[in-house]
Amino acid sequence: MLNSKEILKYTKNLSILFAEDHDDLRQSTTEILKSFFKRVDSVSDGKSALLKYKEYQEETSSYYDIVLSDIQMPNINGVELTSKLYEINPSQLLIILSAHDDTKYLLPLINLGIEQFVKKPIDYQELLRALLNSSKKANQTPTSSQAVSPNIQLSTDVVFDRVNSSLIENGKTIYLTKYEIIFMQLLSSKIGKIYSNEDIAKKYEELQESLDIQNIRKLVSKLRKKLPANSLESIYGVGYRIISLTQE
C-alpha cells in the first residue's frame, strides 16, 4: 500500500489534465486526483482535452505536468490526442488508461513514446504508482513552453527520436522491431540510468508482452548491431543503460 504522504511530497505542487468519457469513472477519479494535485482539470473527450491543454498553456505559459487519458473517447481518441500533444510539447508526461480490448492501440502509443499504461478496470494502487513515477519525473522536468525536444544523440551521426520512436543515421531511418522500440523507449527515458532485467521484463509485462532474461540478452545482442559502438552499455550482474554522446 502506497503512503499518501510520500505521494503528496511529489504531487502537491503539480497540475494534471484527466480525459475520460465515462462520467462515473471520471468523477470518482477526479476526486482522488484532487487529493494529491495542486490543480486538476478533467474533460470528457479528446477534443476537449486538446482545447483545455491549449487554454492552460495560454493561461500559465507552461504545460500540464501530467496528462492522464483514456484511449477510446469521442471526437479525438487517445492515440490522436497523444500525437497532437507531443506536437505541442514533445516532453509531455502522459499516462494511458487501457482496457483489454485496446490492444490494437498499444503499438501506435508505444511508437509515440508512451511509457506508462494503467489497465482498466482501474486498480487505484496501480494508478497511484504510475502517478508517483510520473510526478518524480515532473519534478525534474521543465514544463515551460521552451521544453527541449527529446532527441537522444547516440553518436555524431546517430540519433534516437523518442517522439517518433525512430533510430536515425545521417537522415536515414534504421528499422527497429516492436520489442526494440519498447527497449529503447525505456532505457532512453532516463539517460545514464541502469535498468535491471527485472525492470525491463516488467515494462514488457505492462504492455502485455513477454520477455525473459535469456531473450533480453538476445534482444540486446541484435540491437547493438544497429546502434553506435558503446551507446548501449551492459553492467555485469546489474543491467543495461544508454550512453548519449554528451555523456562521453
Parts of the chain belonging to CATH 3.40.50.2300: 4-138
Res. 248: pLDDT tops 70:
no
Q: What would the pLDDT profile of 190-232 be if each residue is shown by its tens digit? A: 777 889 999 899 889 888 888 988 899 999 999 999 999 999 9
What pLDDT does residue 147 have? Answer: 45
What cell was used for 57? 498553456
Strand arrangement of the beta sheet that strand 93-98 belongs to:
39-43, 15-19, 66-70, 93-98, 116-119
Q: What is the DSSP string of 48-87?
A: HHHHHHHHHHHHHSB--SEEEEESS-SSS-HHHHHHHHHH
pTM over 0.75: no
Q: Which CATH class is domain 151-247?
A: mainly alpha
Parts of the chain belonging to CATH 1.10.10.10: 151-247
Res. 20: pLDDT tops 90:
yes
Domain 4-138 has CATH 3.40.50.2300: yes
Q: What would the pLDDT profile of 42-100 be if each residue is shown by its tens digit? A: 999 999 999 999 999 889 888 999 999 999 999 999 999 998 998 888 788 999 998 86
What H or E segment, with its residue span, contains residue 240? strand 239-242
Select from 7, 9, 139 the least CA-distant residue to 66: 139
What cell was used for 26? 471520471
Please say whether the beta carbons of 26 and 9 come within 8 A.
Answer: no
